[in-house]
């Protein structure tokens, strides 16, 4: 099966309104699928639920951004009124004088928010990809995060029951993939990419380079091709 898609537009052309998407990016441009995000903006699917670490930060405060660069992040989807809800750990600007597009839309009541602790977010995504419907974590006990959740004690310590997250699509950014979808990330850009790849029905990756199968050392594959559906090379 050929997983190589010719263009970013074709790679996202079947994303319907109302989809749940996982989109990587820790907070800066590294690891963010900027081309796929722009393609999704141009495609125009609406009422999207987006799972991501932030709600678009680099374009506003330059987080992790080379001075002078203007990266694209999921803020463009919020500005384009395509987003119904964001599930994130770091949704607002740390600089109140420079609010994100999401923050403005949220305060106007145009978009919903679920704040999830970052480690819980990662683990919920992992669980979704691993066939685990829910798990107990110590994170959030005794805080607002515990509201409405089951608390259970194990060996004298309290834990919250958290449920798995799954998505219809994941838009991801990697360094290299072979034609079978075996993937490698660069440096700290593996973070959520490496787990979101496991938890979406259709996983779409933009990569710096597509190579023939066999060219990536099997022992150095970060995401095995079983998880990856479409690959687009960044020109």
Partner 1 sequence: MQQKERLDREIVAMRVARELRDGDVVNLGIGIPTLCSQFVPEGRSVTYHSESGVLGYGPMAEPGEEDVDLINAGGQFLAPSPGMSFFNSVEGFAMIRGGHVDVAVLGALQVSERGDLANWMLPHRGIGNVGGAMDLAVGARRIIVAMEHTDKSGSPKVVRECSFPLTAPECVSLIVTDIAVMQVAHDGLILTETAPGWSAEDVQALTEARLDVSPDLGDFRL
- What does the binding site for partner 1 look like in residue numbers (CB under 8 A)? 26-31, 53, 63-67, 89-92, 94, 96, 103, 106-107, 113, 115-123, 125-126, 137-145, 175, 185-195, 222
**150-164 burial, b if ≥16 CB within 10 A, otherwise e?**
eeeeeeeeebbebeb
Task: Tell me the closest approach of the beta carbon of residue 134 to partner 1, in angstroms.
Answer: 16
Nearer to partner 1 by Cβ, of 121 and 216: the residue is 121
Nearer to partner 1 by Cβ, of 44 and 142: the residue is 142
CA distance 160 to 146: 7
Sign of the CA dihedral running 13, 14, 18, 20: negative
CA distance 144 to 123: 19
Task: Tell me the closest approach of the beta carbon of residue 116 to partner 1, in angstroms.
Answer: 8
CA distance 124 to 163: 6
Nearer to partner 1 by Cβ, of 8 and 26: the residue is 26
Task: Tell me the closest approach of the beta carbon of residue 10 to partner 1, in angstroms.
Answer: 26
Backbone phi, psi, residue 49, to 5°: -105, 120
Task: Tell me the closest approach of the beta carbon of residue 17 to partner 1, in angstroms.
Answer: 26
Task: Tell me the closest approach of the beta carbon of residue 43 to partner 1, in angstroms.
Answer: 25
Nearer to partner 1 by Cβ, of 71 and 232: the residue is 71
Nearer to partner 1 by Cβ, of 115 and 211: the residue is 115
CA distance 105 to 83: 10
For the chain, give the longest Cα–Cα distance: 55
Q: What is the DSSP letter of 91?
A: -
Nearer to partner 1 by Cβ, of 6 and 131: the residue is 131
The β-bridge partners of 231 are 4, 205
Task: Tell me the closest approach of the beta carbon of residue 48 to partner 1, in angstroms.
Answer: 20
Q: The tokens of 82 are what?
A: 């395509």
Q: Which residue in 96, 40, 32, 23 sits closest to 70, CA to CA?
A: 32
């Amino acid at each position: 099966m050929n997983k190589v898609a010719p263009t970013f537009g074709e790679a996202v052309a079947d994303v319907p309104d109302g989809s749940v998407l996982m989109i990587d990016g820790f907070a800066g441009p590294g690891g963010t699928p900027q081309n796929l995000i722009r393609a999704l903006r141009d495609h125009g699917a609406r009422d999207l639920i987006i799972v991501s670490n932030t709600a678009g930060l680099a374009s506003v405060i330059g987080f992790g951004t080379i001075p002078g660069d203007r990266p694209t992040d999921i803020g463009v989807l919020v500005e384009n009124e395509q987003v119904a809800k964001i599930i994130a750990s770091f949704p607002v600007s740390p600089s109140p004088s420079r609010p994100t597009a999401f923050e403005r839309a949220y305060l106007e009541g145009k978009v919903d928010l679920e704040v999830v602790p970052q480690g819980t977010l990662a683990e919920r995504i992992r669980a979704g990809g691993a066939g685990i419907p829910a798990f107990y974590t110590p994170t959030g006990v005794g805080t607002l995060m515990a509201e409405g959740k089951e608390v259970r004690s194990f060996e004298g310590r309290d834990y919250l029951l958290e449920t798995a997250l799954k998505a219809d699509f994941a838009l991801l950014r990697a360094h290299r993939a072979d034609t079978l979808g075996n993937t490698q990330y660069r440096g700290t850009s593996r973070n959520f990419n490496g787990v979101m790849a496991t938890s979406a029905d259709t996983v779409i990756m933009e990569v710096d380079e597509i190579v023939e199968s066999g060219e990536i050392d099997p022992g150095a594959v970060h995401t095995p091709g079983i998880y990856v559906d479409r690959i687009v090379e960044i020109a």
